């Protein structure tokens, strides 16, 4: 796992309060060395992590009903993330949940009946799904730094000022008192 946040869609890494592409990091390291600043360990490490991650990235595709695609796009917009980031997070959570259940193959084979074999046959997809049929998703916003790919997906131009605010209850504070943390786009 990277020690720096990485935006796979924008191929950028968050370092010292700003998002950098590989080219940006290369220019920054070169400028530091030209200025006589040889403390390039962190930018160099960030460049190495970004390069290694991006070399292993694979593109996957899947088919979806228009309703599911629209719901996914709306969720991504609401979360200010790219559709790819939402899908990666959902798949990661699904795999984590599936791997957390202990499976003993001996018991699985012994309990298999004709009914479970029939259920294992792929069922036809229902193509008349409406947005009311889709499960309602309630998302608690995690502490996330919106990367350039997510900002682009949310329709925020790179030159626009952006303020992300998150409120938290202070421990031991009176009810209704909130602490506000504000991050500004660099």
CA dist., res. 155 & res. 149, Å (int): 10
Query: Residue 111: pLDDT above 60?
Result: no
For residue 173, the 8-state DSSP code is P
Strands 178-184 and 163-169, how do they pair? antiparallel
| Whether 12 contacts 19, CB under 8 Å | yes
- Residues 9-65 pLDDT 10s: 899 999 999 999 999 999 999 999 999 999 999 999 999 999 999 999 998 888 999
Q: Which residue has the higher pLDDT, 185 or 138?
A: 138
In this prediction, residue 62 carries a pLDDT of 87
| Whether 84 contacts 7, CB under 8 Å | no
Half-sphere exposure of 149 (CA within 13 A, CB side): 19
- Residues 123-147 pLDDT 10s: 444 455 555 655 565 555 555 566 7
In this prediction, residue 104 carries a pLDDT of 58
Question: Taking Cα atoms as reference points, which of 59, 47, 55 lies closest to residue 15?
Answer: 47
Query: Residue 186: pLDDT above 50?
Result: no
Average pLDDT, the chain: 74
Question: Taking Cα atoms as reference points, which of 164, 147, 173 lies closest to residue 84?
Answer: 147
Q: Give this prediction's pTM.
A: 0.50
| % of residues, the chain, pLDDT over 70 | 58
- Residues 152-184 pLDDT 10s: 777 766 555 555 554 444 444 444 444 444 444
């Amino acid at each position: 796992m990277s020690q720096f946040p990485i935006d796979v869609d924008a191929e950028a890494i968050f370092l010292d309060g700003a998002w950098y592409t590989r080219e940006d990091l290369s220019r920054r390291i070169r400028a530091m060395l030209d200025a006589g600043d040889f403390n390039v360990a962190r930018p160099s490490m960030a460049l190495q992590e970004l390069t290694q991650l991006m070399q292993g990235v694979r593109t996957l595709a899947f088919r979806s009903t228009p309703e599911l695609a629209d719901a996914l796009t709306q969720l991504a917009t609401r979360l200010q993330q790219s559709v790819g980031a939402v899908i990666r997070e959902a798949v990661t959570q699904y795999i984590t949940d599936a791997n957390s259940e202990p499976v003993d193959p001996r018991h699985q084979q012994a309990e298999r009946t004709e009914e479970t074999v029939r259920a294992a046959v792929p069922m036809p997809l229902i193509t008349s799904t409406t947005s009311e049929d889709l499960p309602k998703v309630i998302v608690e916003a995690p502490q996330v730094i919106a990367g350039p790919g997510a900002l682009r997906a949310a329709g925020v131009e790179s030159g626009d000022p952006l303020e992300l605010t998150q409120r938290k209850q202070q421990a031991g504070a009176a009810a209704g008192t909130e602490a506000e943390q504000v991050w500004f786009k660099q």
